[in-house]
Structure 1
Amino acid sequence: MQTPDTASQSHGSRRKAGRVAIALAALLGLAACATAPPYQPPAVDTPAAYKEAGASAAHPGGPAGIAPDWWRVYADARLDTLEQRIDVSSQTLRKAVALLQDARAQARAAHAAYFPTVGAGLSTGSSHTSANVVGRSLAGKTEPDHLLGLTASWEPDLWGRIGNGVDAAEARAQASADDVAAVRLGLQAELAADYFSLRSADRELDLLGRTVEAYGTVLALAGNRYRGGIATEGDVAQARAQLENTKAQLADLRLNRAQLEHAIATLVGEPAARFSLPPLADTSVLPALPAMPAALPSQLLERRPDIAAAERRVAAANAQIGVARAAFFPSLLLAVSGGVESTSLAGWLTAPSRFWAIGPALAATLFDGGRRQAVADSARAQFDASAADYRGIVLRAFQEVEDNFAALHALQQEAASQQAASEASERALALGLDRYRKGAVAYLDVSVLESAALASERAAEAVHRRQLVASVLLVKALGGGWEEPKDSRSADTAIGSEPWR
């Protein structure tokens, strides 16, 4: 049976425990208010399939990873060699890797806030007190002071400020890793497009070279006919004009090829003056166009590094909201210090020289003119802006895929028609030249046929070049190809460092 005193003490203990429970519940509630909002990637209304991809089936094995050597589907050994040089020599890629290393360092710096900060101090000096100060025992005296101390402080993460800061920094580092992947993919695609344009220029140069030779033969024929009184001087002038115009086109095409060669040199990190890419011995050999796939939108979202980077920046902005919210709540600092202090160095060895201090400190901002609210509003606005960026990048990604699917379908039909037109033009020119040799037509008729034949052949080459470039852009739009990677390891490996993600 409880006595009145015992009952009173028990009741008091229960009330104290109740107050503690209420205080803890209030703290937990405040902590919940201070954390970042639950994160979900921004929703994007995406179609079930690509409209321009045709009726081919989607990849049966699920999402395919980025093929680290996607350009090998074109079966061009020289392109393989050039693409491999990007990782070694590209200064643009090295800059992206350096920014990634900076982001990782900032993430480590943010993570360090979880741990106590420990410092040490050593000071020695002397002080002299004025002799005219009344009431001081040291008036008129000079006293040395030697101090050696350690301090340690630690801030518990009560409101999630540190945790959300770490989450934001890590998300930014992951975004930087995806930026490296996006830069690398962009450089690879640009190099492949420039390389195919250069090889196409080689084919056109070969075509124009043969055309110049043919026009030279025709000019000689017109001159002989003129001297024989069969042709007019106008025929000779027309043939010479045709020849010189083609030579001018040849010179312009040589300039275009030189500029493409210089661009490739820069992409692989070599001065243009020391880089050379000679024409192939057999310009009739063409890179084969890879078969077009039909990839699901989910595959695109998982593969494209620019989309992944944008999503990580949305996550970082969401965590930053939690950092801004935590500023509304008091911060708790646990500090301890200790050491020895004496008027002589020898006194450090005695027990009375020791000093120490320990205790918590709770600090809160009561009024700041609305600064914290403005910071919180800014964090929310930055989240909304990041989410809009993400949705915009996703929509542009779908546009790029649809554009290049449509281009490949249209160019396939155009190539067939253009090939037929070239064959017909060549046949018409052969017949026209034969009639001209027999004196049945004037050279003006032959000149028209020659111009049409050359234009048709150059147009056919332009269509093939556009097909190759469109296939490269489709590879880039799909995030680096549609083939399964050769191993399970991601291609996300920076130059001489650990995996990106």
Structure 2
Amino acid sequence: MQKCFLGALLLAVSGCSMIPAYQSPELPVASTLGDRYLRELPQAAGSGQTRDVSELGWAEVFTDPVLQDLIETALANNRDLRETALNVEAYQAQYRIQKSKLLPTVSGEGDGSKLRTLYNSSHVTSESYSLQVGVTSYELDLFGRIRSLSNEALEQYLAMEESRKTAALSLVSEVARAYLSWLSDRELLHISQDTERVEQESYALVKQRVDGGVATELELAQARSSLEAVRANLAMYRRQVAQDYHYLNLLTGTSLSEKVLPEQGMLREFQPLAAMPQSLSSEVLLQRPDIMAAEHELKGANASIGAARAAFFPTVSLTASAGVSSDDLSGLFESGSGAWMFAPSISVPIFTAGRLSAELDVAKIEKEIYVARYERAIQTAFREVSDALVAVDTYRDQLQAQQANLEATEHYFQQARSRYEEGVDSFLTLLDAQRSLYSSKQSFLTMKLAQLENQVNLYKVLGGGWH
């Protein structure tokens, strides 16, 4: 019996597989990513050798110490990321459960009884003891059905692990964007405060000129209108700074002390990213965790076809046990008290009304669905990277033009104020200059924020290391 069972076990473990040979789909995109924009990506620091973007940890890219502390806190405390990590552990446990079915479950059982009866006015005592070890309904995986299901569970677990990396990468990028938004809104708040002082001075100057009969009430009303508009923006930026702070608290999963955030520091001087690799090809997309997750899902669907194919073939199950029994506990392990049982069974699908064929068709169709999802994920990634590379070029040119506009507007304001104080130009000219300067400062910071956010986004869409 022992030899038969061991032989059956070896046969089950070495059973054939009906999983189709897996071939990764060809890239449905061009072989290179935005060639004419690559020249704008700075060479990686060092000897000039390029590194895979996925090898760059976030701490190598986001070099600002405050931002690094925020990211580290978020990775340790963010609740959404914690939930994703727990889902990974759950999928890993499901894989272990499925994998365990490749080997038999051995169980042991022991029982004993003692019965006392009255027979012919006398008491008769009988005892019975038994101990057995056995395997119940162990399916021999002759055609790879269980192994196919195990492979499918493994790929699902690996896909979830890549999804966790995607979530971590998204969290790192989102913390960086939130911090940049906080810096931007705080600087806009300071600009509005400075502008309010200038508008207040202008209003006082116009009022003085009105009292002196030099200016009109219309000019005073215009000065008051401009002052109140700035005050409205001032309230808005106070709100946005507070909301940015609250969002950082949410992302980091903790209540940040205001001492954590810098009291000084301006967005225009902020350099959040280290140098990125210069040369890129479409192959870099395959390193993105969301693309890798999509391919693992595709491999899992491919494995499910093997399980659906194996269902057409007979299922062989084994039930076996060996044990000892005795009327006396002390004689339980004496010779002659042993017993064994070996009961193989076979189940052959004869008529299923097309169910097995339909299940195989479903498995094949689901694989094609995952192929389409995989290709769409690559095409989406290609578009995201291409857009980010285009933006590297255009944001730089746009920011340079905005900087020149700001300098020209500052000169315009200084000239307009001097000429108004000298009585050469009207207050309308000064008012226009003040509004233009305020608007130009806002536009410059908005553009600077967009440029920095694009750099963060470029790191994310290239699948930069989340670790």
**TM-score w.r.t. length of structure 2:** 0.86
Q: Partner residue of 1:298?
A: 283
Q: Partner residue of 1:264?
A: 248
Q: Partner residue of 2:132?
A: 149
CA distance in 1, matches of 2:96, 2:74: 29
One-letter amino acid of the counterpart of residue 25, structure 2: P
CA distance in 1, matches of 2:205, 2:199: 10
One-letter amino acid of the counterpart of residue 440, structure 1: V
Q: Partner residue of 1:104?
A: 92
CA distance in 1, matches of 2:396, 2:50: 28
Q: Partner residue of 1:13?
A: none
One-letter amino acid of the counterpart of residue 280, structure 2: A
Is residue 426–residue 453 contact of structure 1 (8 Å, CA) maintained in 2? yes
Q: Partner residue of 1:87?
A: 75
Is residue 261–residue 276 contact of structure 1 (8 Å, CA) maintained in 2? no
Q: Give how far 1:349 is off.
A: 5.3
CA distance in 2, matches of 1:370, 1:420: 74
| 1:19-418 alignment, distance < 5 Å | 35-51=18-34, 53-54=36-37, 56=39, 64-67=52-55, 69-70=57-58, 72-123=60-111, 146-153=129-136, 154-271=138-255, 278-283=261-266, 286-288=269-271, 293-301=278-286, 303-341=287-325, 348=332, 351=335, 353-418=337-402
Is residue 320–residue 342 contact of structure 2 (8 Å, CA) maintained in 1? yes
RMSD: 2.8
Listed one character per residue, the Cα deviations across residues 107-140 of structure 1 (whole Å, up to 9, x for unaligned) are 222222222211122345699xxxxxxxxxxxxx
Listed one character per residue, the Cα deviations across residues 276-309 of structure 1 (whole Å, up to 9, x for unaligned) are 65453243762226556341111221x2100011
| 1:461-500 alignment, distance < 5 Å | 461-480=445-464
CA distance in 1, matches of 2:202, 2:258: 38
Closer, same or farther: CA 103–401 of 1 in aligned 2, 3 Å = same
One-letter amino acid of the counterpart of residue 113, structure 1: K
One-letter amino acid of the counterpart of residue 460, structure 1: F
SS of 1:155's equivalent in the other structure is: strand
CA distance in 2, matches of 1:72, 1:227: 62
Closer, same or farther: CA 398–349 of 1 in aligned 2, 3 Å = closer
Is residue 385–residue 462 contact of structure 2 (8 Å, CA) maintained in 1? yes
Closer, same or farther: CA 246–477 of 1 in aligned 2, 3 Å = same
Closer, same or farther: CA 337–62 of 1 in aligned 2, 3 Å = farther
CA distance in 2, matches of 1:106, 1:246: 59
One-letter amino acid of the counterpart of residue 268, structure 1: T
Q: Give how far 1:221 is off.
A: 0.8
Listed one character per residue, the Cα deviations across residues 207-236 of structure 1 (whole Å, up to 9, x for unaligned) are 111111111111111111111111112222
CA distance in 1, matches of 2:399, 2:141: 65
Closer, same or farther: CA 68–276 of 1 in aligned 2, 3 Å = farther
Listed one character per residue, the Cα deviations across residues 13-54 of structure 1 (whole Å, up to 9, x for unaligned) are xxxxxxxxxxxxxx9xxx76x601100122222212123652
Q: Answer yes or no: is 1:424 the counterpart of 2:412.
A: no
CA distance in 1, matches of 2:113, 2:244: 71
Q: Give how far 1:72 is off.
A: 4.3
CA distance in 1, matches of 2:53, 2:389: 20
Stretches of structure 1 lacking an aligned partner (at least 5 in a row): 1-26, 128-140, 482-490, 493-501
SS of 2:428's equivalent in the other structure is: helix
Listed one character per residue, the Cα deviations across residues 299-342 of structure 1 (whole Å, up to 9, x for unaligned) are 221x2100011101111111111011111111222332122345
One-letter amino acid of the counterpart of residue 140, structure 2: P
Q: Give how far 1:465 is off.
A: 0.3
SS of 1:479's equivalent in the other structure is: coil
Q: How many residues align?
A: 439
SS of 1:43's equivalent in the other structure is: coil
CA distance in 2, matches of 1:354, 1:404: 76
Q: Answer yes or no: is 1:448 the counterpart of 2:436.
A: no
Is residue 66–residue 262 contact of structure 2 (8 Å, CA) maintained in 1? no
CA distance in 2, matches of 1:38, 1:450: 70
Closer, same or farther: CA 165–453 of 1 in aligned 2, 3 Å = same
CA distance in 1, matches of 2:240, 2:97: 50
SS of 1:259's equivalent in the other structure is: helix
Q: Rg: which structure is higher?
A: 1
